[in-house]
Amino acid sequence: MGMDKILILDFGSQVAQLIARRVREAHVYSELHPYDMPIDAIRAFKPAGIILSGGPNSVYESDYQADPALFELGVPVLGICYGMQWMAQTLGGNVESGHQREFGYAEVDVLDNRLFNGLADKTLPNGQRQLDVWMSHGDKVVALPPAFSVIARTEACPIAAMADDAHKRYGVQFHPEVTHTRLGRDILHRFVLDICGAKPSWTMPNYIDEAIARIREQVGDEEVILGLSGGVDSSVAAALIHRAIGEQLTCVFVDHGLLRLNEAEMVMEMFARNLGVKVVHVDASADFMAHLAGETDPERKRKIIGGDFVEVFQREAQKLERARWLAQGTIYPDVIESAGAKTKKAHTIKSHHNVGGLPETLNLKLLEPLRELFKDEVRELGVALGLPHDMVYRHPFPGPGLGVRILGEVRADFADLLRRADAIFIEELRNTRDENGKSWYDKTSQAFAVFLPVKSVGVMGDGRTYDYVVALRAVITSDFMTAHWAELPYSLLGRVSNRIINEVRGINRVVYDVSGKPPATIEWE
Ligand code: XMP
């Protein structure tokens, strides 16, 4: 890509992705790489500037060292927290291991400098300008490297920021990437646009043109298949690839019988009829149901659904003899996560449904046109490609679908009840509006109904009922790793409950899930 790029080296920060987001908000392309990226790779990346992230380590104890040769590339460098400490240590300054951790809000006095010029949250009567920032550190820089000067200070941290203007090297002890640092975004944009001189050319129309050219070049006159799930990522990938190569793309839509109400019709309507994409609609629900019969264990259910899915997809793909490419809607957080996952050891809580092994068995090359995009950029792209807003801003839906929302044995009749209850819940969430015009659907990150295979007694009219229970789940989260249950208004819950019990014969009780994650997970299985 010919545009200006910022390289972010990640020293193990929890919020390194945020740095990349903030830079991209300045319409400058940025990528996150591990701190030990080889210097040749850094050179080949041709960064307009480098940002060194924070991290949990101490420069004294850790082998978290980047290659100091990056300072010889002649590009501006900004170190954040650990990044600043590593820079100070490497360039001849001194870092002291913290006796006291500093965590939380701080008011820093700032001095006139290229990085902070004109930026202040307030000015004291004596003329001192201050920034409200977020600090989180144990160690701190206690002696500047040669050629550096102090550009911000607090009492606890006399070198809260430092600069070597001649070499365009900057360090900040606080975290400009988090929203708690009120002018953090402006500071990062100042670095990227003014100090690095990067051109703000990362815009959606530019991106679409470039992505289309790249897909055409990669694929040539070969054919591509894509597994369409109805989710945002695969839908946007399909729309983009179709725009690039039209008839050379065939999508396969596997209906496992565990989709939401009218989902298959919606996907076919959108892609096949509106956009003119070739879509093979495979109704494999009978097979899935047959294989799931009698199985109550959540992990085995996931394995059955995942295995069947791959099998059906493979069978369909093999019919498309001319296909040489498998397209996937992998997005940037997936790429970063799997790079991180290689070094991290985590417990498997749930085995996620994916189609990771497919390209090898099918002998297909992988086409992943969304690999560089964050979720909100994918959504922006979807809208720019003409996909309906409601589809692009839909809540995520797990690969195994209703299979993990029907507790215990999965049956077609349970799936039907759940689909209808779920649709009522979603419709009611969408029908609300707050003073800003936002619905509860917009304000929750994920909402759905769960089918509980227990029966309870009820009374309807003059008669006794003995029917199933549905639980409603609605959560608010930014990363799906932790989540709060949504404080939906009682009146809304009451309306949903009434409608479900009245309209879905077979359900006579509705409950609301008030568990956070952790200790609960978002899905029930
Ligand atoms: P949990 O239940 O682990 O869910 O708190 C976190 C997020 O992941 C989604 N999820 C899945 N997504 N395949 C997916 O593509 C899966 O197998 C799967 N299982 C859970 C879940 O809906 C939530 O958004």
Give residue-wise pLDDT tens across range 441-450: 999 999 999 9
If you take atom 12 of ligand 1, which residue's CA is the nearest one?
398
Report whether pLDDT(92) > 80.
Answer: yes
DSSP 274: I
Q: Residue 138's pLDDT is what?
A: 86
173-186 pLDDT, tens digit per residue, is 999 999 889 999 99
| pLDDT at residue 454, rounded to an integer | 97
Q: Which of 352, 407, 446 to mutate to test the pocket of ligand 1 (most atoms within 8 A of CB)?
A: 352
Q: Tell me the per-residue pLDDT of 275-334, one tens digit each, with 9 for 90 and over.
A: 999 999 999 999 999 999 999 999 999 999 999 999 999 999 999 999 999 999 999 888
Q: Which residues pair with 9 in a beta bridge?
A: 33, 52
Residue 339: pLDDT over 70: no
The answer, yes or no, to whether residue 460 has pLDDT greater than 50, is yes
CA dist 329 and 399 (Å) reads 13
CA-wise closest residue to 83 among 74, 95, 73: 95
Q: What mean pLDDT is predicted for residues 380-392?
A: 94
Residue 385: what pLDDT? 95
State the closest ligand 1 atom to the C-alpha of 397, by its place in the atom list counted from 1.
22
pLDDT per position as a tens digit, 122-142: 999 999 999 999 998 889 999
Tens of pLDDT along 264-274?
Answer: 999 999 999 99
Least confident of 6-15, 160-169, 183-192, 294-303: 6-15
Collapsing DSSP to helix, strand or coil, 233 comes out as: helix
Q: How far is the CA of 523 from the centre of ligand 1 (A)?
A: 7
Instruction: Give the separation between CA 193 and CA 185, rounded to whole angstroms.
Output: 12
Ligand 1 centroid to Cα of residue 10, in Å, is: 26
Length of the chain: 525
Out of 258, 351, 523, 524, mutate this one to test ligand 1's pocket (max ligand atoms within 8 Å of CB): namely 523
Measured from CB, residues less than 6 Å from any atom of ligand 1 are: 350, 352-353, 396, 398-400, 446, 480, 517, 521-523
- 425-438 residue pLDDT tens: 999 999 999 999 99
**pLDDT-derived band at 345, boundaries 50, 70, 90:** very low
Peptide bond into 68 cis (omega under 30): no
Note the pLDDT of residue 90. 97
Whether the CB-CB separation of 67 and 39 falls below 8 Å is answered with yes
- Cβ–Cβ < 8 Å for 235, 380: no
Point out the residues that are catalytic: 81, 175, 177
